[in-house]
Chain A
């Protein structure tokens, strides 16, 4: 054990001892007050000879100097350093993030610790030599717990006092969760990461849709550039709204909601027929199965979403086309019955009133085991049922898209729901194709907290002195604390002495 100083530069503070020395030399002193019978014999004395330079109140001066010296010493953070023989020091571990440049690893190892043990930062911390295909290891950023949990594991596995040399790309994505407090000395080496490092800084609205501000960063520079939002403008969905003659009002609500939903989803849709058509034409088309079939087959790209708004069941060609994917949404008008109640289409939205109901296909529920109730009214009645058919889905609405039947078409929930339907029909979320954030941590983030923290100030000092005490065992804070604690009685004594008469 030996007493060392963690921040010896603070000893320069001892120069501050000059201040009380000078003050005590120059101080005239307040002077003792003496009450005498008369000062007659003292008045108008000839000018006194100048006072010689002499120390006033030497005891107080000594105490003040001691106080200042103690402050400087406490700031210099004395600590007991355990003398450890080199034989007892375990070889350091080089913890390498899989995927960083192998040449960088060798460089670090050769420059810092030739005897080091190289281990990979992945589950089980295997030795680098024992792993054949480093490229197949999971990305550190994708691992649960990330880098910190692996460092904790390393601290638990490694012999006590092992020094860690962490070689990492320093990506922020790998630094998840709470920074651990490790007793080990940790050195942080960031190496260039050959992988892409892009992120979306901001999404901007533009005339053509959305524009992304994409940042690209490497070790030398960071660039921002504008890119069009990737998927939304490129794709378009075909939506077919087929309405019977008595459903023309319903069709208008549906078309309006579709337009709103498409805008919200960032999807361009193409509604066919392009305008609400005469009921006879639709009815005629609906009855002519062969014509419909050919029409469906001819449509490219295939129709993603179809609304069949009629009392009649959807024709067979529609169902057949559904097997290839897409969503079929039907309503039910007959047999009509009154069912007052409410239902909540989307969780956490306000319930929507239901006035009249039709057949939602509950009777077929028994025959079709895959049918699932999506919405239920407060009375338990199934309002929307979903039935998978092939790769597609058939959504049966137990009412009509008409304000007299249900408040759904008047509610903002309706386009919201349609937006979700369109998104699922589009196949995937457009945002999933955006580049994921892969920013790097700055230096301060990429370091584990020290285990022997005394105060906030000590954190700063601990960072500064990490290199200083890299070869030392965990230091004891006791002398530092003792110095701080000793300050208070000394301060009190100084005050007492200074104010005493």
Chain B
């Protein structure tokens, strides 16, 4: 795992770049160098197991060297490269418009990026990576303007994906599983589902969606975007907190709220982690001030470990 030689790119800086394709490529090049598994290294090159020859096996797969050593017909089995579909489910609800004011410390003077911008770049990078590996990519934007793109593996698919990602705007709320399920489910095939969300839900609709996806034995990776200010409660003075989704308002002096908030936050995060563990969902927390390459690398390593 060689670290990229270039300095890590700040999310706030990357958000200024208009060309999402360039962003995705830059990210992938930085994060995946040395990490990437060659999916088409050739049948039989990688050894999975040896077993005895049985009638019906292809004689070409008999390992002659093993046969010479052991004088038995031994068949070499290699892992079959499966046809993987990567399904990206991106949360584009109103709460994703949250701007992390504490995260722009590394790029002073730059406008801090929102969760939505972070999610956009992350999704673009994942789509770019998956398409380059030959996987099919499906995209679902969940919010006020829902978008559902079926799995595509052609080169031109990237353009469509990036177009919709760029046009994505925060708004609306997370739909119930009854509404969302038919959009994302393709029951016959197992897929890798990557959910990018801030996990702010009105009831338990996101948890229900995760459970629903897991019920079909999909591999589900949850990328939890959370602002540095949300993590640390980095506000001070008199603050009026406005809920982006419900519009509810809580006013108060930040310091007096901080302790109780942090306690509740820890409990809330723990509950999500526990729930994901129970469901078998890969949970990855992504603070907004974490460089995107590192976040991407986190995702990929966690996922490979699971495979």
Q: Mark A residues whose CB is within 8 Å of B.
A: 28-43, 45-46, 48-49, 51
Residues 241-270 of B contacting A (Cβ, < 8 Å): 241-246, 248-253, 256-257, 260-261, 264-265, 268
Partner of A40, one of B200, B227, B251: B200
In the bound complex, residues from chain A placing their C-beta under 8 Å from that of B96 are 37
Is B240 located at the chain interface by the 8 A CB criterion?
Answer: yes
Q: Is B257 in contact with A34, judged by CB distance below 8 angstroms?
A: no
Contact B240 A39 (CB under 8 A): no
A39: chain B residues within 8 A (beta carbon): 241-243, 246, 248-250
Question: Does B244 lie within 8 Å of A35, measured CB to CB?
Answer: yes
Q: Does B97 sit within 8 A of A, measured CB to CB?
A: yes
Given A42-B250, A43-B248, verify A36-B241 contact (CB < 8 Å): yes
Q: Which residue of A lies closest to B95 (CB)?
A: A37
- The minimal Cβ–Cβ distance linking A461 to chain B, given in whole angstroms, is 44
Per-residue CB proximity of B81-104 to A under 8 Å, as 1/0?
000000000000001111101000
B230 touches A31 (CB 8 A): no
B241 touches A34 (CB 8 A): yes
Closest Cβ of chain A to B113, distance in Å, is 14
Q: Is the CB of A41 within 8 A of B115?
A: no
28 contacts between A and B (CB under 8 A): A31-B239, A31-B240, A32-B239, A32-B240, A33-B239, A33-B240, A33-B242, A34-B239, A35-B97, A35-B98, A35-B244, A36-B242, A36-B243, A37-B227, A38-B243, A38-B245, A38-B246, A39-B248, A40-B200, A41-B264, A41-B265, A41-B268, A42-B252, A42-B257, A43-B248, A43-B250, A48-B256, A51-B256
B198 at the interface (CB under 8 A from A): yes
A30 touches which one: B238, B242, B252 (CB < 8 A)? B238
In the A-B complex, the 5 residue pairs with the closest CB atoms: A37-B95, A31-B238, A38-B200, A48-B256, A29-B238
B260 touches A34 (CB 8 A): no
Residue of A nearest to B267 (CB): A41
B237 within 8 A of A: yes
Asked if A48 and B257 sit within 8 Å, CB to CB, the answer is: yes
Question: Per a CB cutoff under 8 Å, which of A37, A41, A46, A49 touches B244?
Answer: A37
Asked whether any CB of chain A lies closer than 8 Å to the CB of B53, the reply is no
CA distance A384 to B261 in the complex (A): 116
Q: Is A37 a contact of B252 with CB atoms below 8 Å?
A: no
Is A48 a contact partner of B252 (Cβ separation < 8 A)?
yes
Contacts of A33 in B (CB 8 A): 239-240, 242
Residues of B near A43 (CB, < 8 A) are: 248, 250
Complex-state Cα separation, A429 to B218, whole angstroms: 128
Instruction: Count how many chain B residues have C-beta atoms less than 8 Å from C-beta atoms of the other chain.
Output: 35
Q: Does B235 contact A (CB under 8 A)?
A: yes
B interface with A by C-beta (< 8 Å): 95-99, 101, 115, 198, 200, 227, 230, 235, 237-246, 248-253, 256-257, 260-261, 264-265, 268
Given contacts A39-B241, A48-B257, contact A31 B251 (CB under 8 A): yes
Neighbouring A residues of B264 by C-beta, 8 Å: 41
List 7 additional A-B contacts (Cβ < 8 Å) besides A37-B98, A37-B243, A38-B244: A31-B237, A31-B240, A34-B239, A34-B242, A36-B230, A38-B243, A42-B252
Chain A residues touching B, majority SS: loop
Chain A residues with CB below 8 A from B244, complex form? 35-38
Assembly CA distance A35 to B268 (angstroms): 20
Interface-centre pick from B198, B227, B241, B256 (highest chain A CB count, 10 A) = B241
Residues of A within 8 A of B227 (CB): 37
Whole-angstrom CA separation of A48 from B260 in the bound complex: 10
- Least CB distance from B72 to A in Å reads 63
Residue of A nearest to B93 (CB): A37
Complex formed: what's the CA distance from A38 to B244 in Å? 6
Q: How far is B240's CA from A396's CA once the two chains are assembled, in angstroms?
A: 106
Q: Is the CB of A32 within 8 A of B248?
A: no
A41-B268, A48-B257, A49-B256 given; A36·B240 CB < 8 A:
no
Contact between chains at B260 and A46 (CB < 8 Å): yes
> Complex formed: what's the CA distance from A51 to B255 in Å?
10
Distance A181 CA – B95 CA, assembled complex (angstroms): 74
Task: List the A side residues contacting B95 at CB < 8 Å.
Answer: 37-38
* Residues on the A chain within 8 Å of B249, using CB: 39
B residues less than 8 Å from A40 (CB atoms): 200
Residues of chain B within 8 A of A37, CB atoms compared: 95-96, 98, 115, 198, 200, 227, 230, 243-245
Please determine whether A34 and B238 come into contact, CB atoms closer than 8 angstroms.
no
Residues of A within 8 A of B101 (CB): 34
Q: From residue B268, how far is it (CB to closest CB) to chain A in Å? A: 6
Q: What is the minimal beta-carbon distance from A248 to any residue of chain B, in angstroms? A: 110
Q: Which residues of A contact B97 (CB under 8 A)?
A: 35
Complex contacts, A38 vs chain B, CB 8 Å: 95, 200, 243-246
Alpha-carbon separation in the docked complex, A34 to B245 (Å)? 13
* Contact across chains for A34 and B240 when beta carbons are under 8 A apart: yes
CB distance from A48 to the nearest CB of B (A): 4
Query: Complex Cα distance A35/B238, Å?
Result: 14
Chain B neighbourhood of A48, CB < 8 A: 252-253, 256-257
Contacts of B265 in A (CB 8 A): 41
Q: Which residues of B contact A30 (CB under 8 A)?
A: 238
With the chains together, A29 CA to B230 CA distance in Å?
A: 23
Chain B residues with CB under 8 Å of A51's CB are 253, 256
Instruction: Determine the distance from Cα of A163 to Cα of B283 in the docked complex, in whole angstroms.
Output: 95
What's the nearest-Cβ distance from chain B to residue A45, in Å?
Answer: 5
Bound-complex Cα distance A40 to B202 (A)? 9
Bound together, the chains give a CA A48 to CA B96 distance in angstroms of 29
CB distance from A436 to the nearest CB of B (A): 78
Name, among A29, A36, A40, A46, the residue most crowded by chain B CB atoms within 10 Å (CB to CB): A36
Residues on B with C-beta less than 8 A from A34 are 101, 235, 239-242
Of the candidates A32, A35, A36, which one forms a contact with B237 in the assembled complex, judged by CB atoms under 8 Å apart? A32
- Least Cβ–Cβ distance between B102 and chain A, in angstroms: 11
Partner of B261, one of A32, A35, A42: A42
A41→B238 CA distance, assembly (Å): 17
| Bound complex: CA A32 to CA B236 (Å) | 9
On whether A36 and B261 interact (CB within 8 A), knowing A31-B237, A31-B238, A48-B252, the answer reads no
Chain B residues within an 8 Å CB radius of A49: 256
Q: How far is the CA of A116 from the CA of B105 in the complex (A)?
A: 79
What residue in chain B is nearest A46 (Cβ atoms)? B260
Give Cα distance in the complex from A28 to B264, angstroms. Answer: 26
Measured between beta carbons, the chain B residues less than 8 angstroms from A32 are 235, 237-240
Distance in angstroms between the alpha carbons of A223 and B245 in the assembled complex: 88
Are A36 and B257 also in contact (CB < 8 A) when A31-B238, A31-B240 are? no
A32 CA to B251 CA, complexed, in Å: 9
Query: Which residues in A have their C-beta under 8 angstroms from that of B235?
Result: 32, 34
